[in-house]
Amino acid sequence: MAKPPEDDLWALVHAERAALAEDLAGLSPEQWHHQTLCGQWDVEHVVAHLTAAASLNRWQWLRSMLGARFRADLHNQRRLQEHRGNTSAQTLDRFCAVINSSIAPSPDTPAYLGEVVVHAQDIRRPLGLHRSPGIDALTPVAEFYARRNFTVASRSNAAGLRLRADDGRFAAGTGPQITGPTLALVMTMAGRVPYLEDLRGPGVPTLRLRLESTAPEPPRRQQDDNV
């Protein structure tokens, strides 16, 4: 299957960031501190992380990782603190400033599209926001996730399973079948347990076992580190 041109992928990244910014503009102060599907991070942490991800080229990323001794969690926390504002409004302004950025540490553009898609849903689902990316954005992410472990263990999560979208062209793998919306397939490959309820088929129990065995610890009150 032909891959989308690079410029088309970046246009999708920019569009997904813009859609998320539109949703964020309507949030209350309390919602900015609502828990997300992304471990211990609340909405503001996830937004700052997305700003950081859109601001690092290869050498800046490598320098940050070297400074963190290749501890991805420390790298992420430092960059998050760098790009988080003093207020949620400032955090949103900083995110809006990078909506059209095409900066990335590597040429794996579907992975960076996936980062926006997944983290946007990490925010939306707990808040009851129902906007979903289009199939044109979801399909290249699903195809990339089925091929490779990159920022998430997506290929490992999907190993030995047949994944098939019921709303688009995505299909991958062999084994017990799992069927459902492309969004749910993307999110579960990314490890998000709540999206299992949107899937069906004999492979779902296997996928559930994998995700629940690696799910993050229950949310606790976030305390920022001074790093």
Asked if residue 156 lies in contact with residue 149, where contact means CB atoms within 8 angstroms, the answer is yes
**Looking at residue 68, what is its pLDDT?**
60
Which H or E run includes 184? helix 182-189
Residue with tokens 């939306």: 124
What's the confidence (pLDDT) of residue 56? 81
Average pLDDT over residues 4-19: 94
Q: What is the pLDDT of residue 2?
A: 62
The bridge status of strand 162-165 relative to strand 171-172 is: antiparallel
Q: Alpha-carbon distance 173 to 218, whole Å?
A: 31
CATH 3.30.1050 domain locations along the chain? 135-213
**Regarding the domain delimited by 135-213, which CATH topology (the fold level of the hierarchy) does it fall under?**
Nonspecific Lipid-transfer Protein; Chain A (3.30.1050)
CA distance 152 to 115: 9
Q: What is the percent of the chain where pLDDT is above 70?
A: 88
Whole-angstrom CA distances from 175 to 62, 142, 159, 200, 213 are 38, 17, 9, 14, 21
